[in-house]
Chain A
Amino acid sequence: MKSRAIYGHLFSAPWIITFALFWLYPLAYSLYLGFTDYRLMLPDYNWVGLENFRNLMHDSDFLSALKNTFIFVLGTIPLTTVISLLFALLLEKNFRGRTLFRSAYFMPSITSMVVIALIFTNLYSRGGYLYLLADMLGLSPPPNGFLLSSKTALYTIMAMDVWMSVGYYMLLFLAGLKSIPKELYEAAEVAGAGAMRKFLSITLPLLKPVALFIIVINTIKSFQVFIEIFVMTKGNYGTSTAVYFIYDSGLSRFQFGYASAAAYILFVIIALFSIAQFKLLKSRPVQ
């Protein structure tokens, strides 16, 4: 046994090196950078303590980026979760053509986000189909298109995001539904339970682990929304998000220290959110 241990190290070496070099070191390095005024690759920079963090707290660009990120997360996640569950319930039962619908609903979520964002840039613009549709429905869309107005830009990007990701979470819910033992429903039927009762007392509680998983991964993902903002608005019209801010201050203006501090603030927010979700959803006893 002992002599074979060397192979354990050897075979996991690719991961050990990747982890140390491309994850652990960057994590530590950016924490360190957050306390410095490093910028523009200048050779000398100083330890500035908490100055970056203090400045960020008074930086209106950062604060509005954070606010937009919260709007994005709190707005999309409930919608995405509920709609994807509804889709899963619609497509749970076996019927002809079920695979076709499942595949079609899932398709947007494996399509490149850049491409989706480009398509919707056109659909949302003046004269684009979603613009015309909104006009027909009497919603009086903004004169220059949805993305060129701070009243609508963020919300229409959020709508696109929901549209894009429901298929993915639908698949997870479908897998969750499949894992519920059929005997439970049969027993409930024998006991005279109706469809609603079965849904509330069996389906919903037993889907809780999957729902928790979906909400947590979606939270982590949504807090980092970036690509669609970059492609569709470049952070204009009230759509700048936290990661867009990090990109903009770090890699457009090369304020590495400042951007790293912002990244760590977002990191802590995401961590707190994930922990809170685990606590909240785990604590309620299953009936």
Chain B
Amino acid sequence: MKTAKGILLWAILFAMVFPLLWMLRVSLLPPDSALNLTDLLAGSWAFITYIDIFSGGNMLRFFLNSAFVGLTVTLGNILFCFMTGYALSRYRFIGKKFWFYSVIFVLMIPTHIIIIPLYLLIFKMGMYDTFWALILPFLVNPIGIFLVKQYIDTLPNSMEEAARIDGAGEFRILFRIILPLCRPALAVLAIQVFLTNWNSFLFPFILTSSESVRTLPVALALYQGHQAIDWPHLMAGSSLAVIPVLLVFLVFQRHIVSGITAGAIKQ
């Protein structure tokens, strides 16, 4: 019984990681290799694909574009989700309930509905095919606000009250007192936003067209248009898209899991 379960667990594990291992192995083959078993197991190991990528060329640019957009959007979300979450948790103001419901509303809405109008809006704002299009609409997100609000709801407000009596302003309270307390929630938020944005395809795809602002997933998806697919290079580019995610995952596993499960259990 024990060994049967063990065999099952390892078999599933193999099925889950095989495609990713395949990707890594193919990325380390010389570009003219056949992708058969002999080459895969006994074939030579070459770093030519990675050397090609890092010696300039477009793939490196797409990687850097993705990193730039991902980091900017993540910073924006840390700041703005935090501010909004705090406001919705602590202040009383007209329309607060409405804005909270707007967060829940956007959380549940299928995004496909805004593909066409967002494209037209971005176009008319003159942001089509610029980094603005990839950043501005995504600087704050409902899941992040929800996460921060729930977290701040659990904090006692005695420290804020004390600070207020001491004459501290609202900005000072927000950034000097509450922000440090929210670090755990903001870490979860940052990782989630970065991973989502790093993997994001649909909006970068429809909101840009030129290579100077193309992100890595878009570049990989469009790469296929070429006649004969150069799998080693394509898989090297893919590895470039996957390796940062795996690193983030290995380092911050706990945060990722708690971020995912937080929403589900609150239901």
Contacts and interface: CB of A to CB of B under 8 A. Distances in A.
A246 B116 contact: yes
A108 B16 CA distance: 7
Nearest to A255: B116
Contact of B116 (A116, A227, A251): A251
A176 B118 contact: no
Please tell me the size bucket of the interface on B.
35 or more
Given A33-B117, A107-B246, A90 B19 contact: no
Interface in A158-209: 163, 167-168, 171-172, 174-176, 179, 209
A140 interface: no
A15 B199 contact: no
Interface string B65-103: 000000000000001100110111001111110010011
B28 interface: no
Given A87-B12, A227-B201, A263-B115, A12 B139 contact: no
Given A30-B114, A175-B261, A213-B264, A118 B234 contact: yes
Interface in B189-248: 195, 198-199, 201-202, 206, 217-218, 220-221, 224, 231, 234-235, 238, 241-242, 245-246
B16 A11 contact: no
A63 B202 CA distance: 23
Interface stretch (A54-62, A70-78, A148-156, A218-226): A218-226
A243 interface: yes
B118 A26 contact: yes
Given A33-B116, A87-B12, A224-B110, A118 B99 contact: no
Given A104-B13, A176-B265, A250-B116, A14 B121 contact: no
Nearest to B8: A90
For chain A, what secondary structure do more than half of its interface residues adopt (helix, strand, loop), or is it mixed?
helix
B119 A175 contact: no
A112 B217 contact: yes
Nearest to A267: B113
Interface in A20-42: 21-27, 29-30, 33, 41
B116 A8 contact: no
Contacts of B93: 5-6, 8-9
For chain B, what secondary structure do more than half of its interface residues adopt (helix, strand, loop), or is it mixed?
helix
B20 interface: yes
B241 A114 contact: yes
Nearest to A226: B202
Interface in B243-267: 245-246, 249-250, 253, 256-257, 260-261, 264-265, 267
A42 to B, nearest CB: 12
Contact of A108 (B20, B256, B257): B20
Contacts of B250: 103
A171 B260 contact: yes
A82 interface: no
A220 B113 CA distance: 12
Interface in B33-77: 35-36
Give the 9 A-B CB pairs with smallest separation, nearest first.
A8-B91, A8-B93, A26-B117, A175-B261, A11-B87, A14-B80, A5-B93, A12-B87, A15-B84
Interface of B: 5, 8-9, 12-13, 15-20, 22-23, 26, 35-36, 79-80, 83-84, 86-88, 91-96, 99, 102-103, 106, 108-121, 123, 137, 139-140, 145, 170, 174, 195, 198-199, 201-202, 206, 217-218, 220-221, 224, 231, 234-235, 238, 241-242, 245-246, 249-250, 253, 256-257, 260-261, 264-265, 267
Interface of A: 1, 4-12, 14-16, 18-19, 21-27, 29-30, 33, 41, 87, 90-91, 99-101, 103-105, 107-108, 110-123, 127-129, 163, 167-168, 171-172, 174-176, 179, 209-210, 212-214, 220, 223-224, 226-227, 230-231, 242-243, 246-247, 250-251, 256, 259-260, 263-264, 266-267, 270, 274
